[in-house]
Structure 1
């Protein structure tokens, strides 16, 4: 048993925690004092040199029964004292759900339902202690040891304590709980059972073949702790809720696909072989016939059709339902995982905070002890500098977007005069496509800069505790990446083509480049292209960085050991603690990167979903991969993180609510301003052949294209042309008494757009007001979702 790397040399004492240090480290006295104090607190320590590196030393820590009981009582850890007697499991006549895990083959998957109470040594006989070695789970044992490591001194002085400070000053290289053995076995799990919980998680959760199965949340929580368990519960819930959104979005897309050829607008554009369009750029663009935009018109109809408004309303309701139902799901998990009465322990101060404000103290009203204090003027000044830095970085994003706009204006003329016929013919698509790719590269480059700046600004604020630091850092990273990811999309949705002017009086940037205008079929196709490319490429890049990068790092570590002959051609088997040391540590941000990726995706899925109904489907497919990818990473590629407790997803829920509100506003504007839904609606009811009959059939849009195009006298361009050309706008013809002035139809369309925005926002506001959710604290049942 000792050879497995899970026990001390005697094969009896289980290893609960591992400390790693370098023999060459000069912090010998601090380390010696720290370990001496750990022994005095009741822990047992044993040193073991590394097999692959003579400079590395491992300190194995075991927490004996008496110490476990003492600290379990101090920490108010709830432990089982009697079985619950209920009838939750009823035999069903329905066939077995293939998405549920095979519980017959996994007898260790579900915990026995028990009543729990805070552990007390005086009432120890009331608790169900069948085996002292297994009464406290491995994650609970690790959590108790971590608690002790955080509060043990290494020098004289009230602030000279804690493993975090020793890691920061180089006394130790790492501190982590060990994995419970290998995640693989030579024998099938169904015939020989699971070797350990890690093996069980790999076989029934982390393997790609389990992509369609529910997640074993109870086992995830037992192995990794409630904080990580809640993340995977939220991710699974979000992914499950994406299924109806993806199906409705796919239906809207297929509706557009099947009605593409019968669309009256597409027909009129494809058959307009005599309608001449005005040049769309200054120098190299030639006159084109409207029917040359046939493909663009058909593709635009895929995303801008009769189902668009319905889908936007559906997604606004979906976002609200998703958040409300997550509250209920979280309440169920909080009850099932015995977290209702749990309160987070008071956090210790950050070493940086103590070092900065050690000379200024005041009495903590909770603990009654003096502690460092940050004066309000200092806090305010630092906050102002931080806010200024945030605004500067946001202005940098806008500058990058402006640079892409300038590129599009320059490239527009170059592609229009390109030698290759295909590019010359589809110069608008080439301009948009290359602009999207350049924008994506800028986004990914700026993300690296943003992370460093967010670190700098957060450290400048000197947050008091680690959770305050994490919340401040997470909020900055979200703001930076949200603006970085969506600023170009906002430009295309609401500004592209809005200020281009008209033929003969175009607006120019720096009096040199004519502003870009929309295609005859509208700007929605540019918005779809921007969203689709960025969403697909970013998800592919994130997946590579999450799994591919750790795999490469671990492979390189093994390769270096083999090249150095350190494993003697595989004849030496490394102990578990050294295998864990060679794995990658969980990133410094904990779960922040995981939440940030999903929250940004949620924004992408909801904010402009009216323009890109396939976004929920792409998000669903990505998340199915993401769950197994994260599971594989946690189980096989990362060291075991310290099992932490939590009752919710923290600051991210408030951010999700803010995104939900923003999504309603933007989708209303996308439908009213970016798409052609409102102009078509006004034409059908006011100007079309069905004016007195109502908007009932596609034929009511007959003549819409001609009505939406204004006339311009080509002779006014001074380019040697004669006759008339058409352009997208509602302006009077050159032969009218008020040439090129806005027509009455323009004002009708504008009024309808504003009315639609108001009605959409008010109706959704009422829907949110009337949505009544059950009180989460009243839900005391266990849900089968993701069990």
Structure 2
């Protein structure tokens, strides 16, 4: 330990307690008491941590400063071996090993080089011991911090308890501590969103029997709908879609608009209050003054540009320099690779569209009546499953492409590398995961044409139409299936796969060394047999939650249960992540961070996108606007300024246009003429649109109601977006980034430090003055 203190002035800029002889100040914060209820993810006092189990959770409130060997006498050092905690010591050792030259040569530097050329198999900090004990932690205490974390954090029996964030930070470092703090905050904020979303769903259930639109659809036994595909799709009664109409009402009801506005405001409140919470954590963990300038240059960057140096404008020291032209050329190549991969995703979505168009006829001709009668739902369900498989395959491919492109850019620091890689992976995975959802929400059934003049794909296949009850049911299925499958797969890969791998390793070791062969292994070998942590650190954990946040906000108007599913998943996710960090993974290298990095900007972008998408979902995908126009303009209550179920009488008939079967396209005339509906020939069928009847002066031309609905949709989008953005900006303005108590604490501390510096300087001047007087007196006495 003494070697490390002498070797560097604590390069990692860790902060410890600093003691001033002339003043020591302790400050208690009301804000900390107010925010203590948010230390975990449950806001009730009974869920607090057991202070007797974790007696050393709180630290004395003393001044802190970056450690320096020259100022070692200012620091409280009771024991040199425990002055730095285990995580900090491992970070110092890793810093040294990254920059030690192991052989003469330009690139013969650092531990990473030895790992890349397979000189070493692995390099990782050790756990502090076992995470299980035969003795109870309440009676015998914890054997080490790992055991303590397992009992009070990673155990499934404490799923309802707060997270010991200070202990997590000591063991894993600030970066991992901030991730779990953010995850706990996000999970806690999901409670109100999940409750409101559940109320919207229950409101749809309670009003299902009184919904006039569903009643009319279920009672329309004499309304014949046009076939949904060319060959095998039969004519159908409108009443056959009764079940789908009722399911649609569960998600598309009068409370949907309110919930969309609420979720947009919720996203803003979540981000604004997270900034305040992060500020409190950063102050408590001594991260306020930690800046990116303290971060070291990547060894790969140093090796690549060691011959080109320039003076750092901040430190004044020479450092490797990347020319502007070199940087631009690398960025252009990287951007071209990203664009190409996004085109691959769009091509995959186009393939899914072709699959949906082709298979809807196949399912319509299926032998099983259940599938034949629900051909469109079967098409949507299988398309979503195939789409999910394509998503997972493309994710594996693009991870390698993103890694190659990021290394090609040669970022200067580790944070720049992480931000570049994160942005690439998020952009691709977001497009990959949501492109099909965007297609269903905004394009499915919008450009199909009309009976007799259908738009066709490659001049052959008819584009897919929406179900007679609307396209919202397809969007709900897409979101529900993708969200459940994605979270299930992620949980399996995060915990199930490491469990299987570690079980197989233990089984192999037992066969090689006997039944209890692993008990006598040293700690480094026990840790070596665990699974290595992801090469990209917390990227996978953050990405999973950010994509979930997108599902929770972007299309929440179509799926109000998304926050509830996210909440249930995150309650499990917190303990699942804790369990794998403690028991299944090798201990990650501790690192510092003052926030969640580029992820916060991504969250803000998702919040803005969610306002736009929800406005379009309500205006275009949902039937909210057509119903509103009918109620106020064309229904029984037209001109009375009223809206209610009684004003919706006749809406279904007004929203369906009439088509003469003999006007079908030439290629399908004989086929459709020969068809009969329940034994009687079909002369007319209905379809969802606002067009004139076949015997009008302009057959199949758009009616005036179509233009009224279109104008109302555009007006709603503009009003909704402007209103919600104004509310979001107002909330952002009214909520300060720093809590008032924290700001007062920081100002008070700054004032005391200035006062102490003034007193110290005054004491120094007085001491020098006394010495000069003393020297002058001595010289006067010696004068001959």
Structure-2 residue corresponding to 1:271: 219
Structure-2 residue corresponding to 1:79: 16
Structure-2 residue corresponding to 1:735: 695
- Cα–Cα, structure 1 residues 571 and 458, in superposed 2: closer, same or farther, change >3 Å? closer
Kept in 2, the 8 Å contact 1:332–1:780? The answer is no
CA drift of 1:158 comes to 7.1
Q: Secondary structure at the match of 2:474?
A: helix
Residue 766 (str. 1) matches residue 720 (str. 2): no
Kept in 1, the 8 Å contact 2:359–2:379? The answer is yes
Structure-1 residue corresponding to 2:707: 747
Structure-2 residue corresponding to 1:38: none
Task: Name the TM-score, length of structure 2 as normaliser.
Answer: 0.87
Q: Equivalent residues in 2 for 1:141-160 (5 A)?
A: 141-156=89-104, 160=108
Name the CA distance, whole Å, in 1 between partners of 2:285 and 2:685.
70
CA drift of 1:705 comes to 0.4
Residue 220 (str. 1) matches residue 181 (str. 2): no
CA drift of 1:104 comes to 2.3
Residues 367-400 of structure 1 deviation map (CA, whole Å, 9 limit, x = unaligned): 5455443333332222222111111111111111
Q: Secondary structure at the match of 1:176?
A: coil
CA drift of 1:730 comes to 0.3
Number of residue equivalences: 717
Structure 1 gap ranges (5+): 1-62, 783-787
Kept in 1, the 8 Å contact 2:183–2:574? The answer is yes
Name the CA distance, whole Å, in 2 between partners of 1:397 and 1:413.
26
Structure 2 gap ranges (5+): 38-42, 674-680, 744-784
Q: Equivalent residues in 2 for 1:657-696 (5 A)?
A: 657-696=604-643
Q: Equivalent residues in 2 for 1:222-621 (5 A)?
A: 222-344=170-292, 346-563=294-511, 565-567=512-514, 569-570=516-517, 573-621=520-568
Kept in 2, the 8 Å contact 1:68–1:141? The answer is no
Q: Secondary structure at the match of 2:63?
A: strand
Kept in 1, the 8 Å contact 2:334–2:408? The answer is yes
CA drift of 1:525 comes to 0.1
Kept in 1, the 8 Å contact 2:15–2:64? The answer is yes
Q: Secondary structure at the match of 1:756?
A: helix
CA drift of 1:767 comes to 1.3
Structure-2 residue corresponding to 1:119: 67
Kept in 2, the 8 Å contact 1:110–1:219? The answer is no
Q: Secondary structure at the match of 2:18?
A: strand
Q: Secondary structure at the match of 1:776?
A: coil
Name the CA distance, whole Å, in 1 between partners of 2:99 and 2:457.
63
Name the CA distance, whole Å, in 1 between partners of 2:298 and 2:80.
36
Name the CA distance, whole Å, in 2 between partners of 1:91 and 1:513.
65
Residues 705-751 of structure 1 deviation map (CA, whole Å, 9 limit, x = unaligned): 01100111122233325422111000011121111000000000000
Kept in 2, the 8 Å contact 1:712–1:733? The answer is yes
CA drift of 1:551 comes to 1.4
Structure-1 residue corresponding to 2:781: none
Name the CA distance, whole Å, in 2 between partners of 1:635 and 1:484.
32
- Cα–Cα, structure 1 residues 464 and 731, in superposed 2: closer, same or farther, change >3 Å? same
CA drift of 1:468 comes to 2.0
Residues 451-475 of structure 1 deviation map (CA, whole Å, 9 limit, x = unaligned): 1111122222222333222211111
CA drift of 1:694 comes to 2.3
Kept in 2, the 8 Å contact 1:335–1:780? The answer is no
CA drift of 1:171 comes to 3.1
Structure-2 residue corresponding to 1:637: 584
Structure-1 residue corresponding to 2:756: none
Kept in 1, the 8 Å contact 2:632–2:643? The answer is no
Name the CA distance, whole Å, in 2 between partners of 1:460 and 1:451.
14
Q: Secondary structure at the match of 2:686?
A: strand
Structure-1 residue corresponding to 2:737: 776
Name the CA distance, whole Å, in 2 between partners of 1:597 and 1:120.
40
CA drift of 1:344 comes to 4.1
Name the CA distance, whole Å, in 2 between partners of 1:348 and 1:341.
16
Kept in 2, the 8 Å contact 1:554–1:637? The answer is yes
- Cα–Cα, structure 1 residues 91 and 583, in superposed 2: closer, same or farther, change >3 Å? closer
- Cα–Cα, structure 1 residues 459 and 153, in superposed 2: closer, same or farther, change >3 Å? same
Q: Secondary structure at the match of 1:175?
A: coil
Say which structure is richer in helix. Answer: 2
Q: Secondary structure at the match of 1:301?
A: helix
Aligned CA RMSD, in angstroms, stands at 2.3
Residues 395-432 of structure 1 deviation map (CA, whole Å, 9 limit, x = unaligned): 11111111111111111111111111111111111111
Name the CA distance, whole Å, in 2 between partners of 1:275 and 1:252.
31
Name the CA distance, whole Å, in 1 between partners of 2:686 and 2:711.
24
CA drift of 1:441 comes to 0.9
